[in-house]
Chain A
Amino acid sequence: MSDRLSHLERLEAESMDIIREVAAECLSPVMLYSIGKDSSVMLHLAKKAFHPAPPPFPLMHIDTTWKFRDMIAFRDKTAAEAGMRLIVHTNQEGVEARLNPFDHGPNYTRVMKTEALKQALAMHRFDAAFGGARRDEEKSRAKERIFSFRSASHTWDPKNQRPELWRLYNTRVNAGESMRVFPLSNWTELDIWAYILKERIPIVPLYFAAERPVVERNGQLIMVDDERLPVAPGEPELRLVRFRTLGCYPLTGAIESSAVSLEAIVAEMLAARTSERGGRLIDKEASASMEKKKREGYF
């Protein structure tokens, strides 16, 4: 065995250290679990960090009620296998107001995601929440610290972030304040897939190509996952598609693909000339919209 560590080994070690540091120093941490491939990698790293004990914090999923059905099934199975408590939170105000992604656009995202997250964090008094965001995803993410401080109202002040030196993370907060912690900050999309392949980490079947019922909306292929999506006569049609990212099904564009194995997915990704978030309608609202959402308390 050579002494030099591989790129993936370095990333893995850094992430495990970050996760343990939170468990050791924060009073009440939680891992935000969004069911996507990044969450799967993050959960895998958490399990490795504490093995043979289970990770000493619960998983939490913010359920907008518009997630793919396959995601929910995968979520329940995964949490049970990990031996971790699963908290599922839905913003009931949004449900009562009958908000949906077709008619309420940005307002839907704010109420069912951002507000729901803030509600859940406050209700359980979590002082640290892990998220699976990566710096290569988006420009404002590239600017964020690994330990990202949030005020009592959950806002992010990008112009006044704490210095973060070496691997010494300052986890201290006053009552009501909290930390968002991003153990995958330094991973790229390729790293994530390479690691899934190397460690054989289970992921939601939606990442693999299959014949699925889809409709075209704003140039994106949207899968008809249940009867709530309005369809015109002649719709939907069955096409061989898969997803590069997962979120609320009416907001997540599919790509046409025949990749049915992890190897094929990676090959396809290497050949791709569009970046990952291109498939997410939510990020297209305005150029700096991610920063705005993050300042409001979005992950």
Chain B
Amino acid sequence: MNQEAFALEAVSAAEHADTLRLLTCGSVDDGKSTLIGRLLFDSHLLMEDQLADLEADSVKHGTAGDEIDFALLVDGLEAEREQGITIDVAYRFFATPKRRFIVADTPGHVQYTRNMATGASTADLAILLVDAAKGLTTQTRRHAAIVSLLGIRDVVLAVNKMDLVGFGEGRFREIASAFEALAAKLGIEAVTTIPISAREGDNVTTLSPRTPYYRGPALLDHLEGVAPARRAEAGPFRMPVQWVCRPNQSFRGFAGPVLSGRVAVGDTVVVAASGRASRVTKLLVGAEEKESVAAGQSAMLTLADEIDASRGDVFAPAGDRPVLSDQFAADIVWLDQEHMLPGRQYLLKAMTRTVATTVTDLKYRFDVDSLEHNAAKVLELNEIGVVNLSTAEPIAFDPYAENRDTGGFILIDRFTHQTVAAGMIRFALRRASNIHWQALDIDRAARARLKHQKPAVLWFTGLSGSGKSTIANLVEKRLYASGRHTTILDGDNVRHGLNRDLGFTDADRVENIRRVAETAKLMTDAGLIVLVSFISPFRSERDMARELMGEGEFVEIFVDTPLDVCRERDPKGLYARAFAGEIKNFTGVDSPYEAPETPELHLKTESADPEALAQEVVGYLEAQGWLAAD
């Protein structure tokens, strides 16, 4: 039974061991995968069949001649092995008697930077590799910038391939001091620089006699000894509600991760958004009752009072609450092929809350090569920028520098559902904490009642020359005749006034529609029926307008006229000029029109005259009860 006692001890050691999450990054071909393979190999963590596979693979795909190619241990995708590059993050696990390690091996190619950010977001420490022969590259600087931006405080600069520069001390010192200067500019606090050869093993697990000028530690010794800054444990209590558990009338539990601090039975906590307070009566991890729970645990709590809290809310101590705001400044890393457009609406997910958001201002783009701040209109794939954001409802957060989990967010495209950005909140632009909406005595319902109507937005969308304005005018005449209070917002007219500063780029079109939608909303607040006649070519912006209005108040009317018919009609002679190349970014010619998928009304102008189509709109409003006498 000796063996079993040994097993129990090993399990207990594994259970109580500390974990270090680290990432390896740097330019392509700097040897990241090789280094991880070497760490696994030298710490005797490879199984016999894995070694046999590796030897077979090295012959087939290897780039190390007759030697074992360690990179093949981690480059697991077929495309990676064929091309000899890393495309996506690989997670590897290894343990020494002192520590357990979760390693994220990240790609070096610039087009896979978003995968590198994925690995960096959960790492405590980063090993940044640089090829001793090549020195710092743009990609080294980009990765250092992302490492710093994502809040990794401990960085190891591994100057690799020292064997290729004859282990020269001069070259090592030169690279080390160049990086120190960069790290200082980026605000990276702790840098440890080690000369290594991943392929030959120098200074990886043991100190190498070939670098007498380097006195240690070896890389693995450093990884075992470093104490990562775990700020969350010392911070104030934060627990977002992930799930409300209500198995019966007598139990109401709030489950979620403890993202910082600790809480004990008997403590008073508040819901950050409402400020409502109650006392913790029970703490559960599974069936087990706990006296207290701390950062890193996932728990369920019950409260003494029936206060309103649901998914997305955050529990905090009454005296140390998170910031609550709907406008804030943030760093973002853009991760999508499609550019970030200020004014476009995205979904923002922070902790367990998802809200609609708009980038109101792109302050600047960060040039990773020169470390300069440049003015920019859009952010492209892999670019880093500082932006102001506005959310549809206030969200609770702490600055990212204080806590990654309560200060980080992602942006999601509303249509493709892709994760398009990683964001790190800097500070609130205005505090919503103590500002409440002024409760007005005369509200929109009251104003509408006086007019004996329900406010609505009739949104006419379609190509230039499709007949939007003609039909909108006829509809307004009919509504006016029946005593309704209306107004029209027309694309051409608004562009002469409110939006005279905007052009026809994608970014300007988004802003154009945003302003019109907000204006239409104010007019519905006044009780009016608003007819909007705009090309409004993008689905995202029409949907944004829809969401601004109350349920059912937005009527999307697709004025459907084929392009060749519009071109033939060409009432303003614009198509002729666009096809001649005199007008740029013309919808339907060299700028896209995204037809509505499920409009409330689909008017086909080829099969009916404008009067009949106008009557169809009025008929729809009557049928839906919008024109019913009060």
Q: Give chain B residues whose Cβ lies under 8 Å from the Cβ of A138.
A: 76
Does B243 sit within 8 A of A, measured CB to CB? Answer: yes
Stretch at the interface among A49-57, A115-123, A224-232: A49-57
Q: In the complex where A13-B296, A142-B76, A267-B3 touch, is A165 in contact with B11 (Cβ < 8 A)?
A: no
Stretch at the interface among A3-11, A62-70, A237-245: A3-11
Residues A49 and B10 in contact, CB atoms below 8 Å apart: no
Q: In the complex where A49-B255, A51-B286, A52-B247 touch, is A172 in contact with B417 (Cβ < 8 A)?
A: yes
Stretch at the interface among B272-280, B406-414, B519-527, B543-551: B406-414
Cα separation A222 to B410 with both chains bound (whole Å): 49
Q: Give chain A residues whose Cβ lies under 8 Å from the Cβ of B257.
A: 13, 17, 167
Stretch at the interface among A72-80, A88-96, A103-111, A272-280: A272-280
- CB closest residue in chain A, given B121: A165
Does A216 sit within 8 A of B, measured CB to CB? Answer: no
- Option from A6, A53, A161, A275 in Cβ contact (under 8 Å) with B245: A53
Residues A263 and B8 in contact, CB atoms below 8 Å apart: yes
Residues A163 and B91 in contact, CB atoms below 8 Å apart: no
B contacts with A, residue count (CB < 8 A): 82
Cα separation A47 to B122 with both chains bound (whole Å): 26
Does B118 sit within 8 A of A, measured CB to CB? Answer: yes
Q: Give chain A residues whose Cβ lies under 8 Å from the Cβ of B300.
A: 51
Residues B47 and A275 in contact, CB atoms below 8 Å apart: yes
Residues A163 and B90 in contact, CB atoms below 8 Å apart: no
Stretch at the interface among A33-41, A187-195, A202-210: A187-195
Range of interface residues on A (Cβ < 8 Å): 35 or more
Q: Give chain A residues whose Cβ lies under 8 Å from the Cβ of B92.
A: 135-136, 142
Residues A165 and B117 in contact, CB atoms below 8 Å apart: yes
- Option from B294, B297, B417 in Cβ contact (under 8 Å) with A174: B417
- CB closest residue in chain A, given B418: A162
Q: In the complex where A5-B294, A163-B118 touch, is A48 in contact with B404 (Cβ < 8 A)?
A: no
Residues A7 and B17 in contact, CB atoms below 8 Å apart: yes
Does B184 sit within 8 A of A, measured CB to CB? Answer: no
Interface residues of A in 263-290 (CB under 8 A from B): 263-264, 266-267, 270, 272-275, 278, 287-288
Q: In the complex where A135-B93, A194-B11, A263-B7 touch, is A168 in contact with B287 (Cβ < 8 A)?
A: no
Residues B298 and A3 in contact, CB atoms below 8 Å apart: no
Closest CB of chain A to B223's CB: distance in Å? 16
Does A186 sit within 8 A of B, measured CB to CB? Answer: yes
Residues B298 and A272 in contact, CB atoms below 8 Å apart: no
Q: In the complex where A53-B245, A143-B88, A274-B47 touch, is A165 in contact with B419 (Cβ < 8 A)?
A: yes
Q: In the complex where A48-B287, A51-B284, A165-B422 touch, is A23 in contact with B50 (Cβ < 8 A)?
A: no
Q: Give chain B residues whose Cβ lies under 8 Å from the Cβ of A159.
A: 77, 79, 87-88
Q: Give chain A residues whose Cβ lies under 8 Å from the Cβ of B3.
A: 264, 267
Q: In the complex where A3-B233, A275-B50 touch, is A50 in contact with B255 (Cβ < 8 A)?
A: yes
Closest CB of chain B to A288's CB: distance in Å? 5
Residues A168 and B410 in contact, CB atoms below 8 Å apart: yes
Cα separation A49 to B284 with both chains bound (whole Å): 10
Residues B4 and A264 in contact, CB atoms below 8 Å apart: yes
Interface residues of B in 297-336 (CB under 8 A from A): 297-298, 300, 311, 335
Residues A135 and B91 in contact, CB atoms below 8 Å apart: yes
Cα separation A274 to B47 with both chains bound (whole Å): 5
Does B609 sit within 8 A of A, measured CB to CB? Answer: no
Q: Give chain B residues whose Cβ lies under 8 Å from the Cβ of A48.
A: 285-287
Q: Give chain B residues whose Cβ lies under 8 Å from the Cβ of A198.
A: 11, 15
Residues B93 and A161 in contact, CB atoms below 8 Å apart: no
Binding site for A on B (CB under 8 A): 3-4, 6-8, 10-11, 14-19, 47-50, 53, 56-57, 73-79, 81, 87-93, 95, 100, 102, 114-115, 117-118, 121-122, 233, 242-243, 245-247, 251, 253, 255-257, 262, 284-287, 294, 296-298, 300, 311, 335, 347, 349-352, 404-405, 408-410, 412, 417-419, 422
User: Could you jot down 8 A-B contacts, CB within 8 Å?
Assistant: A13-B298, A17-B298, A49-B298, A143-B89, A167-B257, A170-B349, A274-B47, A287-B53
Binding site for B on A (CB under 8 A): 3-10, 12-14, 16-17, 20-21, 23-24, 47-53, 135-136, 138-143, 145, 158-159, 161-168, 170, 172-174, 185-186, 188, 190-191, 193-194, 197-198, 261, 263-264, 266-267, 270, 272-275, 278, 287-288, 291-292
Other A-B pairs beyond A13-B298, A21-B352, A291-B78, 20, CB < 8 Å: A5-B296, A6-B17, A7-B18, A7-B19, A10-B296, A47-B286, A50-B255, A51-B286, A143-B88, A163-B335, A165-B422, A168-B351, A173-B417, A186-B93, A188-B93, A190-B95, A194-B14, A194-B15, A288-B78, A292-B78
